[in-house]
């Protein structure tokens, strides 16, 4: 049955390196919808905890920190943590190393999921990317996609990304990092990374960026007719 909603809510989930971020950015540009990178929110909180030297088992202390922390997005996916531009810092190694652990803390998830639901509710259409968007944040999304790719392809993409940033990691180091993140993200108790039954699976391993974006755009525009 075609959906008549002119302002669709679109969920894009999947593991790191499946191409979610670049794809989501382009889909939101083509469809003129707001883009929300929920991973960036987990990263901003991880950075805050890092700076405050927070003990991740001290839930009372974490709650206090969360209450006085603000995360906002500016133009071009600029991320502000308490009004400071942290767009670059949240992609650095010290944040990479702790973000999966931080995002497994239920208190952190509850806080961010609430915020994300609020943003979704207030938006006139949105493309939201993450790990639990179709399952928990927007279970009623008009369209749900799950992007995946082989571990070799994800490793290759991650290495290119690292090189562009002037960082060098061996192939073994990158594979270990990806596997470690996959493990934590998919084994955590609270809303682990999973593909919900009503999500369309897109295996991006052998697809170009354009092909992935075209396929999502086509599904959405056809579905909205
Ligand atoms: O997509 P990313 O690599 O920037 O995500 C950073 C971390 O946050 C990753 O370990 C998974 C976690 N995450 C999550 O648990 N739920 C989301 N909706 C988005 C990200």
Domain boundaries, the chain: 9-220
Per-residue pLDDT of 175-193, as tens digits, reads: 998 998 888 888 988 888 8
The β-bridge relationship of strands 84-85 and 79-81 is antiparallel
Q: Rounded distance, CA 112 to CA 138, Å?
A: 13
Going from the Cα of 181 to the center of ligand 1, the distance in angstroms, rounded, reads 9
Q: Across the chain, what does the average pLDDT equal?
A: 93
The set of protein residues with a Cβ atom below 6 angstroms from ligand 1 is 16, 38-39, 42-43, 99-100, 103, 130-132, 181, 185
DSSP per-residue string spanning the chain:
-----SS-EEEEE--TTSSHHHHHHHHHHHHT-EEEEHHHHHHHHHHHHHHTT--TT-HHHHHHHHHT--EEE-GGG-EEETTEE-TTGGGSHHHHHHHHHHHT-HHHHHHHHHHHHHHHHHSSSEEEEESSIIIII-TT-SEEEEEE--HHHHHHHHHHHHHHTT----HHHHHHHHHHHHHHHHH-SSS-S---TTSEEEE-TT--HHHHHHHHHHHHHHHH-
Going from the Cα of 42 to the center of ligand 1, the distance in angstroms, rounded, reads 6
> Best of 185, 189, 192, 194 to mutate for ligand 1, by most ligand atoms within 8 A of CB?
185
Q: How confident is the model at residue 216 (pLDDT cuts 50, 70, 90)?
A: very high
Going from the Cα of 114 to the center of ligand 1, the distance in angstroms, rounded, reads 16
Q: pTM score, two decimals?
A: 0.93
pLDDT reading at 1 higher than 60? no
CATH of domain 9-220: 3.40.50.300
């Amino acid at each position: 049955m075609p959906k008549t909603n002119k302002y669709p809510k679109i969920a894009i989930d999947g593991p790191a390196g499946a191409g979610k971020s670049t794809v989501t950015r382009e889909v939101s540009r083509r469809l003129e919808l707001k883009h929300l990178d929920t991973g960036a929110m987990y990263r901003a909180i991880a950075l805050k905890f890092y700076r405050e030297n927070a003990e991740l088992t001290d839930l009372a202390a974490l709650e206090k920190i969360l209450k006085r922390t603000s995360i906002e997005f500016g133009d071009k996916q600029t991320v502000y943590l308490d009004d400071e531009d942290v767009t670059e810092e949240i992609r650095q190694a010290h944040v990479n190393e702790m973000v999966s652990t931080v995002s497994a803390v239920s208190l952190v998830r509850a806080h961010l999921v609430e915020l994300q639901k609020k943003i979704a509710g207030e938006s006139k259409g949105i493309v939201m990317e993450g790990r639990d968007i179709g399952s928990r944040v927007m279970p009623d999304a008009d369209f749900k996609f799950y992007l995946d790719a082989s571990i070799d392809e994800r490793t290759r993409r991650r290495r290119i990304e690292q090189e562009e940033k002037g960082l060098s990691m061996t192939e073994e180091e990158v594979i270990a990092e990806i596997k470690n993140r996959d493990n934590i993200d998919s084994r955590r108790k609270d809303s682990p990374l999973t593909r919900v039954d009503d999500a369309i699976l897109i295996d991006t391993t052998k697809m170009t960026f354009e092909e992935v974006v075209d396929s999502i755009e086509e599904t959405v525009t056809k579905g909205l007719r």
